Structures are given as C-alpha cells and as structure tokens.
Structure 1
Amino acid sequence: MARKIGSRYTAHQILGRGSAGTVWLGEGPEGPVAIKLLREDLASDQELVGRFVQERSALLSLDHPRVVGVRDLVVDGNDLALVMDLVRGTDLRTRLDRERRLAPEAAVAVVADVADGLAAAHAAGIVHRDVKPENILLDMEGELGPGGSHPALLTDFGVAKLIDSPRRTRATKIIGTPDYLAPEIIEGLPPRAAVDIYALATVLYELLAGFTPFGGGHPGAILRRHVTETVVPLPGIPDELWQLMVQCLAKAPASRLRASELAQRLRDQLPLLAGIPPLEVDEQPGNGSAEESQEEPGNKPEPPRERPKGAVPLVPPGGASDSNRDTHTSMRVPGPDELAGGARGTARAPRASGSPRPGSARARAEALRKRRLRLGVGAVVLAAVVGVGGWLATSGGDDAPPRDTENSAPAEP
C-alpha cells in the first residue's frame, strides 16, 4: 500500500528492514528512489530531529560514485526519512549468505571500491561508523570488475551518528555492530576515520574466510577479543595482502592506513590474486567458548551448530527490531578490569575440520581422555618394572648375597 512521505515522495513497497528503520521503494519528482523511513520512536525524539536537520548539508554534499547518495531528508509529522539513490542490486550480506566466501580477487575489488567511498567521506569530515556487509550494496547493472565483481557502493552514511546522541548513550554506551567495532570505540574513545578502516578490514577478512576475525559467542566476549586478541592468519593469500590486512586491523588507530592509501594498495594486489579460488578455511561450528556457553567438563558435547553469519544481534528476540543483524544498539562499555582480564573466548581460528575449539568442553574431554591413556600406559610400565625387579631379586643365582629379611622394608604396592 502506497504512503506519502512528505509532499514530494511516495513509498510503494518495502525493500528491507533494519533496526533503524525500513527501506522502501519510492517515487519522487526525478524518478525512482529508495526511502529509508526511520522508526517512529526516533522521529518523536526532538533532539534527534534537530541533529537530523543539522546533518542535512553534510549528507547531501557527499557525492561519489562509490557512495549511495542522499537526495533529501524529510521531517514531516511522525515521518523522519532519508531519500537516497536507488541501487538495482543486492547487499553484500545477501551474497555472503549465498556463497559464504568470495574469491580473493573479487573480495579485494569490492573492498577497494568501498575504500574509495570512505576516502571521499573522510575528506568531507564524515565518519561512517557502521561499515559492514549489510551497508555495502552491489550494483547488478554496473560493469563487472576484477574477478567478476559488481561495483560496490557504501550506504547509510550518517545514520549511526544521528542516532548516537549524548542523551541516548551517555558516557557508558557504545553504538555499532559488535563484529566490526574498533578497539578504541570499545574503550570509550570518540570515533575517528580510523574506525571505518578497521571495520572495512574486518569485512575483507570475512569475505575471504567466511567469518569475522573476532566474532562468535556473547557480544561481551566479542568486544573483549577486539581489545585483547590478535588476528589469526589466513592461509592461501599473498603475504603482502595479509600484512596489509594486519596493519588495518591494528589496535592502535594511528597504525592503520588512510582510506585512499588502502584503496590504492588493494588495487596493487589485484594482479597477484587473479585466478585464485575461494579459500578453503575450516572453522569449528558453534559459538563461543566453554565458559561462555556454561558447559561442564563432564557433559556430553553438543552437536555442531551452524554459526550465525555476520554480526551477533544485540536486540533480544521479541524486541522492537525484526532484523537479525542489528546495529545502532546501545551497549555498556566494558570496564578496564574486564578488558584487562582477557577474552574468555578465543578468536575464530582457522583450523582443521573436526578439530575441537581450544577451551571447549570437547577439547577438555579430549585432553582428559589422553591424560587417562597416558596414566594407564604408565601404570602398565610401572607394573612391568616392579615385576622384573622382583624376578631379579629372587633369581640372582648361587653367588647372590643373602637378603636381610629382618631389616628390609616392606615392598610398596
């Protein structure tokens, strides 16, 4: 059913839903558009509406081929909407759900496109703050690039900043999607351009491996991993590309590349990646460590579970959002003591298929089985040694000295 959005636009059908609102296929004076209608509770927040209007000029001025352009911002009664260019295609998350991982050449080409868009935004003083596959659109009508990749465009600029108002988050909340949050955000520092580079490098890792480097388990465990753990290497990619990813996933923001540098260096890697198939990276199914799932050592390990793709939702089932990959959701900032304690889970380490995850109930049961086996073998060896010793003592021959039976100590069992 069609509905009017302001005086200039009409929304015809829903294209998708997210935690911040609903995206509609719409019509405007210049033709088809995409209309992101924010939730009504956001539209009733006068402080947010004020921030929305303040950001209008910055968002409208961001014009780049790798950015989904914002054409208009509408504030009309309970409607708070961004009118955007319509991209004929799909988002990167949908492609990942279908293919699980991309060939390195296609993955790098997509991320290089997004880095170009980020470079333009950062030059304009705009930080995206929520770079993830759901916010990367693939233009199916565009000319194919390296590895058969479709042109990639970054969308939802400014939404995280709009919703992240001081009154909503105070000083103890963070905004974003756990799998892609830079360490400095988790530690309570203001987001700068480097947070987008960290998130984009996480996306590249996910495109290659099929999972994010620090994802899985409880959101609190994911946040700790970002701060305390190092990224696990991926096999089968050139060392130059891996070192580039490591630099962009550095804990220190100053160590990361700028977006323009990242785009150029990624494109320099494309000739080395031509023809390389998607990586064969195995990962133990299931989420989190034994401590996170509260498994007991004696319990029978649960059967493997399919790992949720993408970010772990922060809104519980039955909450306001019907998205299974929520964003812009407030969460408590971990204290220094919690972060210093290290991650109770482990990073998503590529390992042989079927091998247990370190620290899991299955791994502890396997270690206990091996320990019992070693103890059993040791007991057999000890019994054999005692038996041989007794045989030598009783079969020493005629020249053997007599035993002092009165002063000898009783044999130990």
Structure 2
Amino acid sequence: MARKIGSRYTANQIVGRGSAGTVWLGEGPDGPVAIKLLREDLASDQELVGRFVQERTALLGLEHPHIVTVRDLVVDGNDLALVMDLVRGTDLRTRLERERRLAPEAAVAIVADVADALAAAHAAGVVHRDVKPENVLLDMQGPLGPGGAHPALLTDFGVAKLIDSPKRTRATKIIGTPDYLAPEIVEGLPPRAAVDIYALATVLYELLAGFTPFGGGHPGAVLRRHVTETVVPLPGIPEELWQLLVQCLAKAPASRLRASELAARLREQLPVLAGMPPLDVDEPGLAEEETEEPAAAAEPGEEPVRRRGAVSLVPGAKPDSSRDTHTSMRVPGPDELAGGAHGTARVPRTAGTARPGSARHRAAVRRRRVTLGVAGVVVAAVVGVGAWWASADGDDGPAPADHSTSAP
C-alpha cells in the first residue's frame, strides 16, 4: 500500500529490507526515487533525529558518478527517510550469488568504480563504514566497461554513522558487518577512511575467490581472524594485483592505500587481466567448533565440507535482501583476540591436502585411528594365541579336550 513520506514523496512498493529499515520504490516531484525508511524505533530516538539533521548537508553534498545521490532527508512525525536516486539494476551481492566469483577484469573494474566513489566521499570528510556487496549497485542501463562490467555505484552513505550513537554503541559494541570489518574497529578504535579501504579490499578478494578472506562461522571467530590472521594467497592472479590486495588488507591503517591511489592502481591492472577466466580456487573448510552453518554436499565417501562466505548475523537467516547491515556485536576481549583455539594463522596448502581442523582432515584422522585400532587388536590377538600355545606345550597336566567332530 502506498504511503506519503513528508509532503513531497510517495512510497509505493517495498523493494528491499534490512536491519535499519525498508527500501521503497517511490515517486517525487522529479520522478521515480528510492526511499530508505528507517525503523520506527530509530525515528523515535530524538538523539538520532538530531544527528540525522546534522548530517543532512554532508550527505546532500555527496555527488559523484559512482555514488547513489541522496536527494533529500525527511523528518516527518514517525518517519525518518533518505530519498535517493533510483538505480535500475541489481546489487553486487545478487550477481555474486548467481556467478559465485567474477572474472578478474570485471571484478577489478567494479572495485575501481567503488574506489572512485570512496575517494570523493573521503575528500568531503565522509566515511562510509559499511562497504560490502549489498551496498554496491550495478547500473544495468549504463555502458558496459572492462570485462563486461556494468557501472558500479556505492549506496547507503551515512546510515552506519547515523545509527552509531553512543547510546547504542558503548565500548562493548560494534556497528558493521563482520566479514568486512577492519581490525582497528574490532579493537575499539574510531573508524577513519582506512576502514573503507580494508572493506573494499575484502570485497575484491571475495569477487575473485568466491569467499571472504576471514569470514565464516561464528561472528566472534570472524572478528578474531581480522586481528590475528594473515590473508591466504590467491593463486593465478598477477603478483602486482596480489600485492595491492595485501597492502589494503594490512592490519595497520597507515599501511593501506588511499582510495584515489587504489582506483588508479587497479585500472593499471585491467590490460593484464583482459580475457582471464574466473579463478579456480578451493574454498577452505572450517573446524566444527567455528561454525553452526549446515555442511555442504561432498563427494561420495567424503565428509561434508563446511563452506565459508559472508556470515549471516541472524541464526537461520537465508541470503536475501533482508540481510542485517547494522547489528550490535560484542567486542572480543584481549584473551580472545590473542587467538586461543582459533588464533593460529591459516596457511595455504597444496592441492589434495586437507587443512588441519577441516572436516576432511578430521575424517582422515578418524580413519587413521580406526586403522591403528584394528591393527592393535590383531597384534594383541596374535600375542595372546602365542602365549596360549606356549603354556599348552609346557603343561604336564591332561591335554585339553577335543571338541571337534568326526564322521562316524
């Protein structure tokens, strides 16, 4: 059912849902628009409304070909809404779920567009704070770029900052999506431009590999990996592109590239990547205690292997447009961040070998245990029989009765 948003806009149809609210297809004085209507409990928060109004100038001033423009911010009774340009297309998550991984040329072209958008935002003093495939829109009506990639536009600027009020994010809380959170956020430092670079590098890794570098399993385990583990190499991509990824996934924010530098360096790689097919890489499994996700199908005779990808913060949630974007999470304590059972760095393995702790590795260990157990039983039996015969030969007593049968 259509509803009025302020005095100038009409929301006609819900096209998406998230933890912050709903996205509507709407109409305004200048034609179709997208309206992000925040939840009622957020709209009733006077502190958040004040922050909303304060951010108005900064958000309305963000204009760039690769940014979804915010046209208006509406505060009307219980309605708190961002009115944005309508992009005719889909989001990057939808494409990634359909294709699993992209050809390197298309992946790099898309990420370079987003880096351009971040460069403009950072120059204006705005940090996105929630860069991920769900917030990258692909304009299906725009001209095709390298690798057949549609123009990419970054959306949802300012939403994370609006929701991140002191009342909601005390020292023990985090705003963001675990797979893409920079280590400094996990450690409680204020988010600066470098957190967007880390998140965007994570997106590029995911587009190339089909899974995020530190994702999978319980959100707490994901946060620990961001702080303690090193990224596993991706075979088959040019060394210079890999070094770009490593630099932008650095634990130290100062070591990462600026958005403008990242965009330029990525575009330098496009000629080298032309015609390269999607990577063929194995998706690592997880130790059983690191995940509660259902196991994926495996080859006959093998245990199911648990897959790693973007983590749903809502147990049992299915991957759709209702994914949670801004969810409060507990920050791990120093002892947890030190690693414990999950703090050891994972290292790349050669083809055909199982990662320690993976389902396949555990199955192999169990098979070895069974084999050793059977061998132990056989050895014990042989020793026992030998001892019995020895005692029988040296026994002066009557011979044992013969229980065999014979023909009459």
| TM bucket normalised to smaller | 0.7 to 0.9
2:151 maps to 1:126: no
Per-residue CA deviations over 1:197-227 (Å, capped at 9, x if unaligned) read: 0000000000000000011100000000000
1:190 is matched with 190
2:233 maps to 1:233: yes
In structure 1, distance between residues paired with 2:372 and 2:127:
57
Residue 122 of structure 1 deviates from its aligned partner by 0.3
Contact 1:284 1:351 in 2 (8 A): no
How do 1:332-351 and structure 2 match up within 5 A? 332-342=330-340, 344=342
In structure 2, distance between residues paired with 1:245 and 1:368:
37
1:410 is matched with none
2:91 is matched with 91
2:273 is matched with 273
In structure 2, distance between residues paired with 1:156 and 1:343:
36
Per-residue CA deviations over 1:342-385 (Å, capped at 9, x if unaligned) read: 5627778776787544213542341353467579889999xxxx
Moved more, 333-342 or 105-114: 333-342
**Partner amino acid for 2:326?**
H
Q: Give 5+ residue unaligned stretches, structure 2.
A: 293-300, 380-408
In structure 2, distance between residues paired with 1:121 and 1:279:
32
Contact 2:304 2:359 in 1 (8 A): no
In structure 1, distance between residues paired with 2:195 and 2:171:
18
Give the % identical residues. 83
1:51 is matched with 51
In structure 2, distance between residues paired with 1:270 and 1:155:
24
How do 1:335-374 and structure 2 match up within 5 A? 335-342=333-340, 344=342, 356-360=354-358, 362-370=360-368
Seen in structure 2, the aligned counterparts of structure 1 residues 343 and 228 have a Cα distance that, compared at 3 Å, is farther
2:314 maps to 1:315: yes
Moved more, 331-340 or 246-255: 331-340
Residue 140 of structure 1 deviates from its aligned partner by 0.3
In structure 2, distance between residues paired with 1:183 and 1:302:
36
Contact 1:97 1:309 in 2 (8 A): no
In structure 2, distance between residues paired with 1:153 and 1:333:
31
In structure 2, distance between residues paired with 1:139 and 1:22:
21
Contact 1:101 1:278 in 2 (8 A): yes
2:397 is matched with none
2:25 maps to 1:20: no
Per the alignment, in what secondary structure is the counterpart of residue 244 of structure 2? helix
In structure 1, distance between residues paired with 2:182 and 2:290:
22
Per-residue CA deviations over 1:208-259 (Å, capped at 9, x if unaligned) read: 0000001110000000000000000001100000000000000000000000
In structure 1, distance between residues paired with 2:359 and 2:343:
12
In structure 1, distance between residues paired with 2:341 and 2:64:
40
2:391 is matched with none
1:298 is matched with none
Seen in structure 2, the aligned counterparts of structure 1 residues 165 and 343 have a Cα distance that, compared at 3 Å, is farther
Contact 1:221 1:343 in 2 (8 A): no
Residue 19 of structure 1 deviates from its aligned partner by 1.1
1:395 is matched with none
Contact 2:305 2:359 in 1 (8 A): no
2:195 maps to 1:199: no
2:144 is matched with 144
Contact 2:180 2:198 in 1 (8 A): yes
1:72 is matched with 72
2:224 maps to 1:224: yes
Contact 1:103 1:277 in 2 (8 A): yes
2:92 maps to 1:114: no
1:326 is matched with 324
**Partner amino acid for 1:289?**
A
Residue 92 of structure 1 deviates from its aligned partner by 0.1
**Partner amino acid for 1:344?**
H
Per the alignment, in what secondary structure is the counterpart of residue 166 of structure 1? coil
Residue 337 of structure 1 deviates from its aligned partner by 1.3
1:256 is matched with 256
1:37 is matched with 37
In structure 2, distance between residues paired with 1:21 and 1:350:
40
Q: How many residues get paired?
A: 373
Per the alignment, in what secondary structure is the counterpart of residue 167 of structure 2? helix
Contact 1:137 1:153 in 2 (8 A): yes
In structure 1, distance between residues paired with 2:81 and 2:151:
26
Per-residue CA deviations over 1:301-337 (Å, capped at 9, x if unaligned) read: 9952674753x2223459xxx9653121111111111
2:399 is matched with none
Per the alignment, in what secondary structure is the counterpart of residue 125 of structure 1? coil
Per the alignment, in what secondary structure is the counterpart of residue 342 of structure 2? coil
In structure 2, distance between residues paired with 1:106 and 1:71:
30
Residue 171 of structure 1 deviates from its aligned partner by 1.5
Contact 1:25 1:33 in 2 (8 A): yes
Contact 2:303 2:360 in 1 (8 A): no
Seen in structure 2, the aligned counterparts of structure 1 residues 306 and 361 have a Cα distance that, compared at 3 Å, is closer
**Partner amino acid for 1:235?**
P
Residue 289 of structure 1 deviates from its aligned partner by 1.4
In structure 2, distance between residues paired with 1:157 and 1:332:
24
TM-score (norm 2): 0.84
Seen in structure 2, the aligned counterparts of structure 1 residues 371 and 306 have a Cα distance that, compared at 3 Å, is closer
Contact 2:16 2:321 in 1 (8 A): no
How do 1:6-17 and structure 2 match up within 5 A? 6-17=6-17
